[in-house]
Chains A and B, each alone.
Chain A
Amino acid sequence: MTAVDTTDAAVPTTPSSAPRRAARPDGAPRRRGSAFDRVLPYLLLAPAVVAILWLIGWPVLSVLVTSFRRLNLRELTRGQVVWTGFDNYAQILGDPGFWTIALRTVVFTALVVAASVVAGLLIALLMRQVNPVVRIALQVAMLLAWAMPLVAATTVYQWIFDQQYGILNKTLVKVGFDGFAGFSWFSTGTSTLGVIGLLIVWQAVPFLAFSLYAGVIGIPKDQYEAAGMDGASAWQTFRAVTWPELRPLMTMVTFLSLLWDFKVFAQIWAMRKGGPDGGSTTLPVYQYLEGISQSHFGVAAAVSVVMVLLLALLTFQYLRRLVGSQEGAL
Chain B
Amino acid sequence: MTMNEDDIFTTVKTNVLAVLPDLDPDQVTMHGTLTDLGANSVDRADVVTMTMEDLGLVIPISEFQEVHDIASLVALLKRHS
Tell me, yes or no, whether A binds B: no
Q: Residues of B at under 8 Å CB distance from A? A: none
